[in-house]
């Protein structure tokens, strides 16, 4: 006998969202493990996430797209800086890059970069979808500095971006940066690329 009263819905995250989070977390955990990219298979992800393989394949056609999606979930675009000066903007970005080293899945990105030769398509997609938009934010700051006369007119923007990023990401993940490191990097960079005075 029906009462005409709809069954009470349980509060919480919808099932599809829970499944997606479990899949992303499982992918990142496997990617951070010793075997890195090689250890990420649809079977392994499904077993770790507690879902069927068809649930994964409905969202991602292969492990490359799954890995890039998972990485994008934890490596978001850099914030648009708004200090009003090149040094202030670069400091905001340098601090953001430094803070990422403390995140749980920082090792995932090293494993993808380290596997670039073996998985060139994955690395190319990772560069295009995740890294390039972040570099574009830094490139724009440097470009504004050149246009405003704060930086050298002949500055190669790609070299400037690489110098900043490389200084903050070259140490192994989890290794703490010294206090004031972001400031030291930015000031050293500006001594080299700043517009000549006088």
Q: pLDDT at residue 109 above 60?
A: yes
* Domain range list for the chain: 15-72, 76-193
Asked whether the beta carbons of 111 and 34 are under 8 A apart, the reply is: no
> If we measure between CA atoms, which residue out of 148, 144, 175 comes closest to residue 160?
144
> If we measure between CA atoms, which residue out of 68, 17, 67 comes closest to residue 44?
67
- Quote the pLDDT of residue 110: 87
Q: pLDDT at residue 135 above 90?
A: yes
List the helix and strand counts (H, then E) for the chain. 10, 0
Q: pLDDT at residue 172 above 90?
A: no
Q: pLDDT at residue 175 above 50?
A: yes
Higher pLDDT, 38 or 5: 38
Pairwise CA distance, residues 120 & 97, whole Å? 25
| Exposure b/e, 158-181, CB count within 10 A at least 16 = b | eebbebbbebbbeeebeeebeeeb
pLDDT digits (tens, 9 = 90+) for 54-70: 999 999 999 999 999 99
Rounded to the nearest integer, the mean pLDDT of the chain is 89
- Quote the pLDDT of residue 198: 52
What number does CATH give the domain 15-72?
1.10.10.60
pLDDT > 90 fraction of the chain, expressed in percent and rounded: 68
- Quote the pLDDT of residue 13: 54
Q: pLDDT at residue 81 above 80?
A: yes
Q: Which residue has the tokens 């080299």?
A: 192
pLDDT digits (tens, 9 = 90+) for 150-160: 999 999 999 99
> If we measure between CA atoms, which residue out of 120, 84, 76 comes closest to residue 100?
76
Range with the poorest average pLDDT among 13-27, 81-95, 165-179: 165-179
CA contacts within 13 A on the Cβ side of 3: 4
> Tell me, what DSSP letter sits at residue 171?
S
Architecture of the domain made up of 76-193: Orthogonal Bundle (1.10)
pLDDT digits (tens, 9 = 90+) for 112-134: 998 999 999 999 999 999 999 99
Pairwise CA distance, residues 194 & 153, whole Å? 9
């Amino acid at each position: 006998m029906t009462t005409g009263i709809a069954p009470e819905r349980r509060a919480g995250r919808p099932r599809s969202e829970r499944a997606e989070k479990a899949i992303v977390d499982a992918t990142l955990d496997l990617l951070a493990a010793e075997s890195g990219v090689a250890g990420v298979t649809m079977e392994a992800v499904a077993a770790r996430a507690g879902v069927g393989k068809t649930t994964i394949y409905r969202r991602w056609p292969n492990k490359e797209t799954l890995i890039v999606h998972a990485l994008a979930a934890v490596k978001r675009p850099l914030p648009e800086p708004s200090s009003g000066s090149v040094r202030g903007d670069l400091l905001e970005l340098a601090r953001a890059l430094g803070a990422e080293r403390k995140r749980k899945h920082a090792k995932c990105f090293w494993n993808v970069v380290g596997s670039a030769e073996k998985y060139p398509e994955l690395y190319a997609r990772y560069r295009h979808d995740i890294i390039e938009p972040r570099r574009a934010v830094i490139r724009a700051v440097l470009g504004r500095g050149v246009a405003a006369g704060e930086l050298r007119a002949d500055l190669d923007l790609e070299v400037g971006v690489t110098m900043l990023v490389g200084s903050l990401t070259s140490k192994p993940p989890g290794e703490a940066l010294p206090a004031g490191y972001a400031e030291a990097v930015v000031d050293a960079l500006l001594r080299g690329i700043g517009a000549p005075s006088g």
